[in-house]
Amino acid sequence: MPQYNPPIRDMQFLLYEVLDAVPTLQGLPAHADIDADTLNAVLVEGGKFAAEVLTPINLPGDAEGCHLDKTTHAVTAPQGFRQAYAHYVEGGWPALSADPAYGGQGLPLVLNQCFYEMLNSANQAWAMYPGLSHGAYEALHAHGTAEQKALYLPRLTSGQWTGTMCLTEPHCGTDLGLLRSKAEPIIGGAADGSWRLTGQKIFISAGEHDLAENIMHLVLARLPDAPAGSKGISLFIVPKFLVNPDGSLGARNGFFCSALEHKMGIHGNATCQIMLDGAVGSLVGQPNKGLAAMFVMMNAARLGVGNQSLGLTEVAYQNAVAYAKDRIQMRALSGPKAPDKAADPIIVHPDVRKMLLTARAYAEGARALLTYTALQLDVLVSTDDADARKDADDLVSLLTPIIKAFVTDNGWTATSACQQVFGGHGYIHEWGMEQFVRDARINMIYEGTNTIQSLDLLGRKVLGDNGAKLKKFGRLIAEFVEEEGTSEAMQEFINPLADLGDKVTKLTTELGMKAFGNADEVGAAAVDYLRVVGHLCFAYFFARMAKVALDKQHSGDAFYTAKLHTARFYFAKLLPETAMLIRTARAGLTPLMAMDEALF
């Protein structure tokens, strides 16, 4: 069975030595009293919960899956999941970063991000049950009425209830403008204006389960007079059980699970087909403005999905390293490294090390990018400084599609590489590696496929504002290059970073000019372009991490030595991928569209 050791030291390195998070947080009114001791205590206890409670039920939960009673439409999660959720609630974990006005602890979002990385490493399928509640909480916190907030937010904050988002329908995935679910006003309904919803939703993660007493579904549907397309979508709260004004539960709502999806991975999470059969719901926000409200939850989910792949990359790496140190196969080409054994441990073989270091570098780069972005989110939601808020908003907007797509693509590569380290054993369930690969594959698909994220980055976030957001991130790189450009020890990191920054500027300008002539040029280049910019982000953070490690490498702490080795591997073996990507991005539209459809 796989094991998991929470990477708290690396989290602390980023928070305190690279990003200087505590002074940043203390400069925000909501976190003026925060200190490293508080952050550390939460990280340690959160790590214990992940490793000791969630890891043991991950492999058996995947094997068992969820169970649907077709008569009652009730879904039961795998054994141990409900008990783990009760433990989670008792520990106060749902309230970690929630608003104190609704019973939350008000701790920083960056801390919650670190906690959820550990949950995702330990058990991604389980973590999705409470994880979706965070997005529902954020959407309602931003767009709900005072009455809706008072009724629902305290119960989401405590974990008494969970939340979901219900978007996709059988005929439409990302293109939500095609959705058909309808909402009709209830004549003589409740004073708050109730609606009765009909339709079908699919791929609803955690859509039905036995972990909590109620589930608050956020559902997209159309009003009777709604305009066509995405401009005619409204958002509704549709609880599993109707809720009385005092918060007590009433009758079962007309919202039920008709089937469980048969999936490649995340078997422990109930991915449901949902029927809305006259379900009663209340409108959230303005009529026909539901998609904008739901984007609060969708953007949170996109960051969360990147965090899922970070978690899987980390746990796959840890188990592959342990196996590579123990498994003996063949001799090193340069001669025996373990002459007292029948063969050498496979960790001596260069290509095994390449696979391990690829996973390690992708984990450490992703952790740095996600931690930085979560810290920017804290600034965005808590600062009193309008300029700082705008800067944080722009950076989070730019980095969100990169996190979702680049980190999940890398997670698939890394978990596959770690499975390969195990050889034939990696294909066998009890080692856990094939589950990590299967679980990682969905992360590239849901919450907007990675192609959609690439189009969002190049089309909307970069070309859409003439590169303003990208230039803002570019200034961070330029300032760092200027600061470290005269340091001889930093040249191996600074030079390739500066070079890639120049190439991204030129590529962006070139693609923008092509797009003026034919917008499809954006679609031809977007996926390659996102990976190039993703590498630019990783190169920036690896250079910053290397700077700290260089300054402290003589401390005697092997952590810094390992950090430098990983950074050097990244720049030597992974960053050069950008040369190919830039060339393929420049190849343009013609090689893709020249063939007549009949020839396919």
Residue-wise pLDDT tens digits, 551-594: 999 999 999 999 999 999 999 999 999 999 999 999 999 999 99
Side-chain half-sphere exposure of 161, counting CA atoms within 13 A: 23
pLDDT at position 191, please? 44
Given a contact cutoff of 8 angstroms between Cβ atoms, the answer to whether 190 and 267 are in contact is no
Q: What is the pLDDT of residues 304-328, one digit of tens each?
A: 999 999 999 999 999 999 999 999 9
The 3-state secondary structure of 207-275 reads CCCCCCCEEEEEEEEECCCCCCHHHHEEEEEEECEEECCCCCEEEECCEEEEEECCCCCCCCCCEEEEE
Kind and range of the H or E element at 480?
A: helix 468-484
pLDDT at position 115, please? 98
Number of H-type helices and E-type strands within the chain: 18, 11
* DSSP annotation string for 36-54: HHHHHHHHHHHHHIIIIII
Q: What percent of the chain has pLDDT over 90?
A: 95
Mean pLDDT, rounded, for 370-379: 97
Q: For the chain, what is the domain count?
A: 1
pLDDT at position 188, please? 59
Q: What is the pLDDT of residues 138-166, one digit of tens each?
A: 999 999 999 999 999 999 999 999 999 99
Confidence of residue 192 (pLDDT cuts 50, 70, 90): low
Mean pLDDT, rounded, for 123-142: 95
Range of the domain at 581: 464-600
- Give residues with Cβ within 8 angstroms of 14, minimum separation 6: 21, 367, 368, 371, 372, 545
Mean pLDDT, rounded, for 225-244: 94
Query: Distance between CA atoms of 146 and 337, rounded to whole angstroms?
Result: 68
Query: Distance between CA atoms of 293 and 280, rounded to whole angstroms?
Result: 19
In a domain, 595, yes or no: yes
Residue 74: how many other CB atoms lie within 10 Å = 14
Alpha helices in 333-383 (DSSP H): 350-382
| 174, pLDDT greater than 90 | no
Confidence of residue 230 (pLDDT cuts 50, 70, 90): confident
Tokens coding 515: 């797009």
pLDDT at position 432, please? 98
Query: Distance between CA atoms of 438 and 62, rounded to whole angstroms?
Result: 10
**194 bridge partner residues:** 282
Kind and range of the H or E element at 519?
A: none
Residue keyed to tokens 């400069």: 27
In a domain, 579, yes or no: yes
Which amino acid makes up residue 141? H
In a domain, 559, yes or no: yes
Could you say which of 364, 447, 484, 521 is catalytic?
A: 447
In a domain, 238, yes or no: no
In a domain, 563, yes or no: yes
Confidence of residue 297 (pLDDT cuts 50, 70, 90): confident
In a domain, 406, yes or no: no
Residue 90 bears catalytic tag = no
Q: What is the pLDDT of residues 22-57, one digit of tens each?
A: 999 999 999 999 999 999 999 999 999 999 999 999
What's the residue count for the chain? 600
Side-chain half-sphere exposure of 176, counting CA atoms within 13 A: 27
pLDDT at position 463, please? 98
- Give residues with Cβ within 8 angstroms of 579, minimum separation 6: none
Query: Distance between CA atoms of 326 and 324, rounded to whole angstroms?
Result: 5
In a domain, 476, yes or no: yes
Residue 330: how many other CB atoms lie within 10 Å = 10
Instruction: Classify residue 426 by its DSSP letter.
Output: G
pLDDT at position 445, please? 97
Q: Give which of 483, 472, 504, 501 is closest to 547, Cα–Cα.
A: 483
pLDDT at position 484, please? 97
In a domain, 360, yes or no: no
Mean pLDDT, rounded, of the chain: 96
Mean pLDDT, rounded, for 169-184: 91
